[in-house]
A = this chain, B = another copy of it.
Amino acid sequence: MLDKDPPESVSEATTHRLSLLLRSLRILDGEGVGTVSSQQLAERFGLNAAQIRKDLAQFGEFGIRGVGYRVPDLKEKLKWVLGLDRPRTVVVLGAGHLGQALADSKNFNSEGFKVVALFDNDRRKIGGRSRTDLPIRDIAELPVVARAESVEIGVLAIPAEAVPSAAVVLRNAGVRAILNFAPITLAPVPGLEVKNVDLTLFLENLSFRLAATGDRPRPKRG
């Protein structure tokens, strides 16, 4: 599938751009476009032509010199590179507002991802169902469900203090990756891929930029 062994390490920036590229290719494919050059991709989707080529070069040679890329081919190759050529099963821990919204969301239930269960430890929530009818189960059942459904990814929408132990429970249940939305940095766990997504930090980043672009009394140099 690949003409080249992937490098030891691929940067986050690259995988991020490859995801954006895949999205662009899906759009072009939907429009029936057969061939596209890196230049055209760059112009239409706000990317950088040289960077597209460099990113792809880490995994092989996918284009035709003098022509460009065959859209359907490159799309399939990229899906393979990103591990999206087969479905991935997801569970959500924490049936609060955010957990339920994520479990029900299209983002987490399309293009090969599927949320199969929602867990909580609150008696009042257990036994209920989300708005898309996903059952809310007791977190004690997680190991059984995770094995039965071959769950690969666990999404954490629980309080910060519950995160470290939840990570251990997930790993022991055979889950191999965690997407953590709680406001705590989950340290790397051997055998687990961890991604921390801290919603507060996005707002704080905007706050910083607002402050830096003139909404505060300019400091006088001391």
Contact = CB atoms under 8 A, between A and B. Distances in A.
B207 A88 contact: yes
Contacts of A215: 83, 152, 176
A216 B86 CA distance: 10
Interface residues of chain A: helix, strand, loop or mixed (majority): mixed
Given A83-B211, A105-B199, A153-B210, 7 more contacts: A10-B208, A16-B205, A83-B215, A107-B183, A107-B199, A107-B203, A113-B203
11 contacts: A5-B219, A10-B212, A19-B201, A19-B205, A46-B187, A83-B207, A84-B204, A84-B207, A97-B104, A177-B210, A193-B210
Which of A2, A4, A97 is packed against the most chain B CB atoms within 10 Å?
A97
A212 B107 contact: no
Contacts of A203: 88, 90, 107-108, 113, 153, 179
Given A104-B97, A203-B153, A20 B211 contact: no
Interface in A49-99: 81-84, 88, 90, 96-98
A34 B82 CA distance: 47
A58 B23 CA distance: 37
A2 B211 contact: no
A206 B195 contact: yes
A1 interface: yes
Contact of A153 (B12, B15, B96, B206): B206
Contact of A16 (B6, B201, B209): B201
